[in-house]
């Protein structure tokens, strides 16, 4: 392994961050921040909140770099998870704090989103995941995508799709089980 090869991998950059290497940290930010920022924006729908969240995420990454290990999955998966969880926490907190009228907030968010049919049909690059998503009918697929990418709760999905919460919950669980069986049956879905 030459230093150049090693330096080109995110794993190596994180390992160097764990040792306090700020240059590696800047490289990691350079390589990943645009993707993470887009994910945060999509969930939070607010630039200022997304900027704050991105800052929190990278400060956390700097301090938690020692806790990363390959068992947690690929570095990008780890980073995206930290970002999504941060955004979802902020979203849930904002709701409790401001007591946003659910419907009003939802309409505002829905106005900036593609419609369910479009979402349900949207392809992902990962061919295997795509194939597996194709096994789900429209609303089931839309539930998973809206929850994952937009941070929707069961209640919000219920309002958005006009189906009872109980139905939404069972759609999601059913969808998750179908995905798991399909992905795990296909062997390695991490590629």
Dmax over Cα atoms in the chain, in whole Å? Answer: 57
Question: Residue 77 or 137: which CB sits closer to other proteins?
Answer: 77
DSSP secondary structure code for residue 9 in this structure = S
Helix (H) or strand (E) segment spanning residue 134: none
* Cα dist from 132 to 65, 135, 148, whole Å: 33, 5, 16
Nearer to other proteins, 43 or 101 (CB): 43
CB of 107 to other proteins, least distance (A): 20
Question: In the complex with other proteins, which residue's Cβ is closer, 107 or 189?
Answer: 189
Specify the length of the chain in residues. Answer: 191
Q: How far is the CB of 120 from other proteins (least distance, A)?
A: 11
Smallest distance, other proteins to C-beta of residue 104, A: 19
How far apart are the C-alpha atoms of 163 and 39, rounded to whole Å?
27
Q: CB 150 → other proteins: shortest distance, Å?
A: 9
Contacts for 110 with CB less than 8 Å, ≥ 6 apart: 160
Of the pair 1, 98, the CB lying nearest other proteins is at 1
Rounded Cα distance between 181 and 105, Å, is: 35
Cβ 7 vs Cβ 55: under 8 Å = no
Distance CA 173, CA 156 (A): 16
Least separation in angstroms between residue 108's CB and other proteins is 19
Residue 153 beta carbon to other proteins: minimum distance, rounded to whole angstroms = 6
According to DSSP, residue 67 is labeled G
Nearer to other proteins (CB atom), residue 96 or residue 112: 96
Decide whether 101 or 188 has the Cβ nearer to other proteins: 188
């Amino acid at each position: 392994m030459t230093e150049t090869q090693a330096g080109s991998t995110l794993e190596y950059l994180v390992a160097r961050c764990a040792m306090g290497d700020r240059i590696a940290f800047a490289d990691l930010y350079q390589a990943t921040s645009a993707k993470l920022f887009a994910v945060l924006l999509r969930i939070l729908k607010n630039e200022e909140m997304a900027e704050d969240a991105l800052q929190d995420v990278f400060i956390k990454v700097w301090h938690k770099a020692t806790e990363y290990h390959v068992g947690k999955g690929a570095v990008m998966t780890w980073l995206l998870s930290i970002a999504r969880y941060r955004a979802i926490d902020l979203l849930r907190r904002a709701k409790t704090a401001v007591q946003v009228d659910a419907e009003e907030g939802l309409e505002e968010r829905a106005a900036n989103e593609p419609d369910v049919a479009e979402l349900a049909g949207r392809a992902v690059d990962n061919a295997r995941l795509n194939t597996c998503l194709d096994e789900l009918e429209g609303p089931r697929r839309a539930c998973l995508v809206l929850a994952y990418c937009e941070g929707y709760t069961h209640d919000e999905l219920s309002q958005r799709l006009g189906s009872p919460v109980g139905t939404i919950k069972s759609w999601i669980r059913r969808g998750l089980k179908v995905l798991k069986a399909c992905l795990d049956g296909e062997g390695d879905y991490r590629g």
